Each structure stands twice: as structure tokens, then as C-alpha cells.
Structure 1
Amino acid sequence: MQGSVIRRYTAKELRELKIPLPPLLTQQQIGRIYVTALYQKYLANKQAEQRLAGVLAILRDIDETQRRETNGQ
């Protein structure tokens, strides 16, 4: 079995760390795409919830109708 080593960085090393970033325009485009995807996911979830609520309402109506018919006989 192999162990793992976790590298620890000093505060100085972290301050000196160079992290390459894309140009600001590219970052903004990425942000817009991400926000749009999150909103689309939100809308899809809302639509799924509404469909489920509709199905459950239909099933409740069917159940109530069957109960009435059973009790009426």
C-alpha cells in the first residue's frame, strides 16, 4: 500500500505563486456562460416541479374518484 504526501506551502510561497488567468474578457464570457447555465438549470428544475405537481394532482383526482365510486356502491 502506498502513502500519500501532502505538500505544505508557506505564506511566502503562496504570495509568490503565479496563477495564469485568461484575459478579463474571456473571464467575463466564462462567467456569463456559467450564470446562463445555472439559470437554465433553475428553469428546468422549476418545470420538473410543475410537471410533478400536475401529475400528483391528477393522481389525487383519480384516487378521489375511485373512492367515491367505491363508497357509492
Structure 2
Amino acid sequence: MAADAARTAADFLALFGVGPDDPVTFQCFDDSSKKRRHLARVIHATLASCADQLAALNAMGAGVFWTCQRATG
């Protein structure tokens, strides 16, 4: 993930009280009419540890969403 995009994502999560060492539940999927299932996954990790994976999925057309309340993964 580009440094600017990673910083922007981290700043956004910080607005909700998510720190750099806090795990987050991200959900990725193709929301287009193609419904490419290989893009669907749930990732429970810190942003730093999965930023490149999220960026790659997004580049392939996956929407990247996050859970704003506590979750168990």
C-alpha cells in the first residue's frame, strides 16, 4: 500500500479510537454484478499487518469495509 494511502487509512481509523496495535475486522467482497467470490474474505488484523493485502484486493475490484464495533474476528 502506498505510504499516503496507509497514513490516510490509519488517520481515519484513529478517529474511531483504533490505535496502530489494535486489530480490526475488515471484510472484502466484489459488490459488482460479476460477484467474483475469490475476492471475498474476512481479515482480522492490525492495519499495518494487512494493508498490502487490502490494497491488492481493492486494486482487483474488491470493496474494503471495516467493522466499527468490537468483533471477535
State the TM-score, normalizing by the size of structure 1. 0.23
Greater fraction helix? 1
Greater fraction strand? 2
Highest RCO, 1 vs 2 (Cα 8 Å, sep ≥ 6): 2
